[in-house]
Chains A and B, each alone.
Chain A
Amino acid sequence: MIALLRYLYLKSARDSSLFAFLFVPALMPVAALSGVTLKHGLQYPFYMDALYTPVQNATLAATIAMGTSVLFASIASFWTLRAEITTRSIGSFLLAARPLTIALALILFAAAIGLAGWVGAVALTGALTTAVMPHLALITLKVVVALIAASAAGALVVTISPQPGMIIGSYVGCAVLIPLLAKSTKGSVQLLVAVVVAIVCTLLAAFLLERRCAT
């Protein structure tokens, strides 16, 4: 597992995709905040709506960050091993590691990128709005579960077909997950659904990963 995570890290860091996946979740809300604020001249704290309190602005910015980090975790999962799956080079990894280990490594790697992006985004938007969204710990827990589910969905999509157009599948998966996250209520059923989605997608991705070499 560690070797696979190292491989994914080296590969994505060297081709710079890692930095895109890491920074976009933070850049999106920061761009929205700075865009609206600078339109009315340089002010601090930054805001998206002048009538909102800093906490409301932070909540709005964090919601954008939440959606973006979940979406980009899914895309990272789809993208990082795409070349190996397309060229069947994944076969050499399958001879050295179990397919479930490879799928789990991919999902953990993408979810970790998403989490780092989310943390960075909350920190940046917090600094710009001088506030943090309420129930941050609970929301972060939901984000973590959603990141894992979205990454698992991305892994499943790439094992179904690594064609670039299939990335739409990741968007669709996230389009279902993100509204669930946006509610700040406890939502234990939503979390349970996300966990089930993550488990099913992981198992299917591991199964299909091996099948990809068999064609």
Chain B
Amino acid sequence: MTERAIVAEGLLKRYGRVTALRDTSFAVTKGTITGFVGRNGAGKTTTLKIVSTLMHADDGTCEVLGHDVSREPYAIRSHIGFLPDTFDLPATLTLREYLGIFTELYGISRGDRSRRVDAALQLTRTEELGERRLKALSRGEVQRVGLARALIHNPDILLLDEPAAGLDPHARVELKELLRLLRERGKTIFLSSHVLADLEEICDELVVIRRGAVIFAGDIAGFRRQMRSTTRWRLTAVSRPIAIPSGIRGEVVESGPTSVDFEGNLSAGERARWIAELVAKGIDVCEVSPIQSTLEQEFAKAIEEEEEEEAAS
């Protein structure tokens, strides 16, 4: 049986008349990277704040490592590292001073503090910023400092709210590498992001939230299945247009002078029959390749479907 690091059931949160979360339930498996996806205002930050114990839900339960976030917040806090979506750093402190203070706050022994700071700086590739005042950092560097702070006490669970925000493409690649490394070290990572291509690359599981309700929780393959994902196939001929044989299930989504993009769950037999028919007609097929839809497209589709259902009801 897979162990759960985070289990949320029926979370409800209201800000005055606005319902931020309604019956939100999901689970995060230990040792995995779980992506948290949703539009702006969907309830991602509120959920992460509840999981981090900094906010109380109006109803429902949330357990982190078996501890209830409302009843035992202090038992949880030393096990989590939280990177909020927005935060401020004390401009006049150096990065080393800042991280050093957090090693003390987390009760790390005096002899170990410097080593922990070095390790956090190394992990987040901020060694060269150690002696620099925090006011002199760029947006991307600030984000990495936040990550270093979240890692300073070697937590079991990392809660990251938009960790890639403000990072340049190179830093995003480094972030992905870091998250993979942390997963290898047994950390559980629950992160929200709008960069779905990145999530697709690194995430084991996905939680999709819309208007405060979870519409999917599970692995990415499961999400595609739920979306009844169809694969797009591209057939390219050497010189002549491609005709679609009868009896093939699916639809043409794009056609060019010598190629056609066809969407449908074609079996190997159907593909072979199609190619054979085209060859029999004298069309030299030079390539048949699948084009998998991106997570971004699937996400947009999921949201669209939900909205259509809502409008219909």
Point out residues on A near B: beta carbons under 8 Å.
2-4, 6-7, 10-11, 14-15, 83-84, 87-89, 91-98, 210, 213-215
Contacts and interface: CB of A to CB of B under 8 A. Distances in A.
Looking at B49, B88, B91, the one whose CB has the most chain A CB atoms below 10 A away is: B88
Given A15-B92, A84-B88, A91-B82, A96 B102 contact: yes
A97 B106 CA distance: 7
B88 A14 contact: no
Contacts of B104: 2-3, 6
Nearest to A11: B90
B52 interface: yes
Contacts of B101: 3-4, 6-7
B231 to A, nearest CB: 44
B246 interface: no
B88 A95 contact: no
Interface string B104-118: 111000000000000
B92 A11 contact: yes
B210 interface: no
Contacts of B97: 10
Contact of A213 (B55, B86, B91, B149): B55
Contacts of B82: 91-92, 95
Contacts of A214: 49, 54-56
A84 B90 CA distance: 8
B105 A4 contact: yes
Nearest to B97: A10
Given A10-B93, A92-B149, A213-B49, A97 B84 contact: no
A10 B88 contact: no
Interface in B43-86: 49, 52-56, 74, 77, 80, 82, 84, 86
A106 to B, nearest CB: 14
B159 to A, nearest CB: 10
24 contacts: A7-B93, A7-B101, A10-B97, A11-B93, A14-B92, A15-B91, A83-B90, A87-B87, A88-B86, A89-B87, A89-B88, A91-B52, A92-B82, A92-B87, A94-B54, A95-B52, A95-B54, A95-B80, A95-B82, A96-B77, A96-B105, A96-B106, A213-B49, A215-B15
Contacts of A94: 54, 77
B73 to A, nearest CB: 9
Contacts of B197: none
B135 to A, nearest CB: 10
Contacts of A97: 105
Contact of B89 (A2, A6, A14, A89): A89
A2 B49 CA distance: 27
Nearest to B104: A3
B199 to A, nearest CB: 24
Interface string B28-53: 00000000000000000000010011
Given A10-B92, A11-B92, A96-B106, A87 B86 contact: yes
A3 B84 contact: no
B148 to A, nearest CB: 12
B44 to A, nearest CB: 16
B54 A91 contact: yes
Contacts of A15: 91-92
Contacts of A89: 87-89
Contacts of A87: 86-88
A88 B84 contact: yes
A27 B143 CA distance: 42
A88 B87 contact: yes
B105 A93 contact: yes
Given A3-B105, A11-B92, A84-B90, 15 more contacts: A4-B101, A4-B105, A7-B90, A7-B93, A10-B90, A14-B93, A83-B90, A87-B86, A92-B82, A92-B149, A94-B54, A95-B80, A95-B82, A96-B105, A214-B56
Contacts of A2: 104
A213 B55 CA distance: 7
Among all A-B residue pairs, the 4 with the closest Cβ atoms: A14-B92, A3-B104, A96-B105, A87-B88
Contacts of A3: 101-102, 104-105
Contacts of A91: 52, 54, 82, 84, 87
Contacts of B86: 87-88
A7 B93 CA distance: 9
A89 B88 CA distance: 6
A14 to B, nearest CB: 3
Nearest to A86: B88
Looking at A14, A89, A92, A94, the one whose CB has the most chain B CB atoms below 10 A away is: A92
A98 B74 contact: yes
A54 B101 CA distance: 47
